[in-house]
Amino acid sequence: MSVDAPEIKIVATRKVSCDGDEGPLGHPRVFLTMDEEGKVECPYCDRLYILQGGPSDKDSK
């Protein structure tokens, strides 16, 4: 059995909110602030947010 990799979202701000996209698989809305590498992971759904153009944005290099 394989486990899917967490979803990655590229965003334009260091502060993001995540609710798991509501619905039956959603979770309480949490507000997250990125670290110095320009990324943060949701503690509920493991979605990874990456700052566009930041150190962790592979498309910016």
Q: What is the C-alpha radius of gyration for the chain, rounded to an integer number of angstroms?
A: 12
pLDDT at 41: 96
CATH superfamily placement of domain 8-60: q5lls5 like domains (2.60.260.40)
Query: What CA–CA distance (Å, rounded) separates 5 from 19?
Result: 18
**57 pLDDT exceeds 70?**
yes
What sign for the dihedral angle of Cα 12, 15, 20, 21?
A: negative
Higher pLDDT, residue 19 or 61? 19
Q: What is the DSSP letter of 49?
A: E
Contact assessment for residue 13 and residue 31, using Cβ atoms and an 8 Å cutoff = no
Residue spans of the domains in the chain: they are 8-60
pTM of the model: 0.83
